[in-house]
Structure 1
């Protein structure tokens, strides 16, 4: 069971995200629900560690085994989701991930279908292009240039479509 609580028009999520790098590019994805990019990963399950969750999510989505280099950020994010317009309070742990190349680093874009036939579109975005992309989490646009050596806490709060 995913760690997620829904209360009226609000939702709490506990998720993990993968920072997968390749030649000054970072892997982002879209799932067809919205026009924005986001980082590979997903929700943590009850009684699952964040490290177990990121390994499971990447295995499910990309069909590859990964090695966790280190946790980068613990993010407390408050936002309104773009498609359903639900208020979200999300805790996310973002990991720097090493992959065993199965060919995905050679393709600029590629598509993977999950077991439920859900289409996932992956794209390698250059660090420089991030500032012009519609993507979440927003802090990646700046922080990707200087990855922390130890985990940092980030709090992002969106009000009326603007991060404050």
Structure 2
């Protein structure tokens, strides 16, 4: 995976999928964390980002995803558990076969609305759940936080976002 430490900062190259069903979005969480994020993962060396996202969604949800257009390229600077991160993320619109606007199950580990699915991922347990877009930022802590508003208004063209959760410098 394209993740390494340099000068006290962890660099990650990440892909994420925006999976919508009507006014709900599919989010994931590491069990016990106080935040949610979009499903996806890290890119392997030599792997195109769209292929990496298809692979990650297959590994996490056990479904064949259709990776659509690139919505955002996001440079994120944040601190997590005392470690500083610099992450470059490619955020794609994704559709799952069989997921209707009602959030019906697509098979695999895609949960139905109101349910949670689980996946063991090394030492972590990943949780997957649908959330109403209107709950993001209020009752649901979503990272990066710009997504709480942005998911309700997907860009018509690819956007570059620089997101800082920590003070500059």
Does TM, normalized by the shorter one, top 0.5? yes
Structure 1: runs of 5+ lacking an equivalent: none
Give the Cα–Cα distance (whole angstroms) in 2 for the partners of residues 92 and 19 of structure 1: 12
TM-score normalised by length of structure 1:
0.88
1:119 is displaced (CA, Å) by 2.1
Per the alignment, residue 122 of structure 1 pairs with: 128
Q: CA RMSD in A?
A: 1.9
Give the Cα–Cα distance (whole angstroms) in 2 for the partners of residues 38 and 54 of structure 1: 14
Per the alignment, residue 164 of structure 2 pairs with: 157
Structure 2: runs of 5+ lacking an equivalent: 99-105
Give the Cα–Cα distance (whole angstroms) in 2 for the partners of residues 88 and 115 of structure 1: 21
Of the three residues 86, 89, 92, the one matched with 1:92 is 89
Per the alignment, residue 142 of structure 2 pairs with: 135
1:49 is displaced (CA, Å) by 0.4
> Which structure is higher in helix share?
1
**Residues 13, 90 of structure 1: 8 Å contact kept:** yes
TM-score normalised by length of structure 2:
0.86
1:115 is displaced (CA, Å) by 6.4
Shifted more, 56-65 versus 146-155: the winner is: 146-155
